[in-house]
Amino acid sequence: MIADATIAAWVHSTFAYAGMALGAAMWRRTLRQHSRGGALAPGNFGVLVGLLIGAALGNKLVFLIERPDVAQAIWQAGQLMLPGQSIVGGLLGGLIGVEIAKKLTGQTRSTGDAMVLPIALGLAIGRIGCFLAGLHDDTYGLPTALSWGVDFGDGIPRHPTQLYEIAVVLALGLTLHCARFNTPGLAFKLFLGSYLLWRFAVEFLKPVPVAYPLGLSGIQWTCLIALAVYAPLVARAWRQPLFATP
């Protein structure tokens, strides 16, 4: 693992931005194949703007919920830039931003299915950076006696939760991408709902930086609230015919 904090932060950011760039390129390619004008078509461009703004705001907001101690220290120091980010916040914020953009541009078609595989690959690449950053990143797991525990530099084998997530999101993304559901938007709904469930569960294998009610982390409470709102939408889409009839 990387011992120097500055180098770790640089490597982490490099993989994160590489993942986002690859995901964006794949999404644009999908749009070029299935819609006239590609990502820069009027409706698609509005969705892209909504996605970026929503993801950026959600990213930081959920980080503030997860780490209010860091936010308070930064505020007291008079800093304007807020370090840290949250994948859960980015996904939820991006979803809200896209839905607002679709309302403003009058779009009714589902746009999420084209994002499933790009998001999965982007998350997987980003988590490689988290893994290499080791103890300088808040994504490492609790100590474990399991044979695959990883020493991130402090001599303590820990759950490689970053690698767990890489395996989960790739399996989930590839499965839903290949499923070819007949219901538009169902693949994305299943991906997001499953990811929220996964993040709620895997957080039990990580240290809790700031405990909220019931000893849960801010990420876990965010996932629970989001699932309570989103689950009815997933159930409604699931009740429709799943696959195209021959």
> Would you list the domain boundaries of the chain?
5-238
Backbone angles phi, psi at 26, to 5 degrees: -65, -40
pLDDT at 239 over 60: yes
Is residue 37 pLDDT above 70, yes or no? no
Residue 50, pLDDT score: 85
Look at 15-24, 31-40, 102-111 and tell me which has the smallest mean pLDDT. Answer: 31-40
CA nearest to 99, candidates 110, 114, 113, 89: 110
Measured between alpha carbons, how far is 200 from 4 in angstroms, rounded to an integer? 30
Report the alpha-carbon distance of residue 119 to residue 107 in Å, rounded.
22
pLDDT, mean of residues 131-143: 88
pLDDT of residue 14: 81
**CB atoms inside a 10 Å sphere around CB 149:** 16
Q: What is the pLDDT of residue 199?
A: 96
Displacement of CA 232 from its chain's centroid (Å): 21
> What is the pLDDT at residue 4?
63
Is residue 246 pLDDT above 50, yes or no? no
Let me know: does 159 contact 202? Beta carbons within 8 Å.
no
Which runs of E-coded beta strand occur in 61-198?
150-151, 157-158
Of the listed ranges 16-20, 145-149, 214-218, the least confidently predicted one is 16-20
Mean per-residue pLDDT for 183-201? 93
